[in-house]
Amino acid sequence: MKKLTEQDHQYLKALQESEFQAIDQFDKTVLTLTGGAFGVSFAFLKDIVRPDVVTPQNFLVAAWVFWCVTLSVNLTSFYFSHLAMRRAQREYRAG
């Protein structure tokens, strides 16, 4: 393996920052879209279709449960991503 120059280190740093920003934007977009869909489903159920009219309520409850699971997994991924970035930085500095 070749010895990295200062320019190589700068390039790697730029790549890491770009990757982090892309992942951050993706996660924010996913959270925004799921939150919006959750709000729309509540409004749709409450204002347009009355709850007593909805026959297969199991599907709606399942969708809300899966939304909560998705949100929890997404937030957990934020946490572990943060930990992984710190560990990678420590290991990189250590050599």
Angle separating helix axes 57-94 and 6-43, nearest 10 degrees: 170
Q: What is the DSSP string of 23-78?
A: HHHHHHHHHHHHHHHHHHHHHIIIIIS-TTT-S-HHHHHHHHHHHHHHHHHHHHHH
Average pLDDT over residues 28-56: 74
Average pLDDT over residues 31-44: 78
**pLDDT score of 1 more than 60:** no
Instruction: State pLDDT tens for residues 72-91.
Output: 887 788 778 777 877 876 77
pTM of the model: 0.52
Q: What is the pLDDT of residue 93?
A: 66
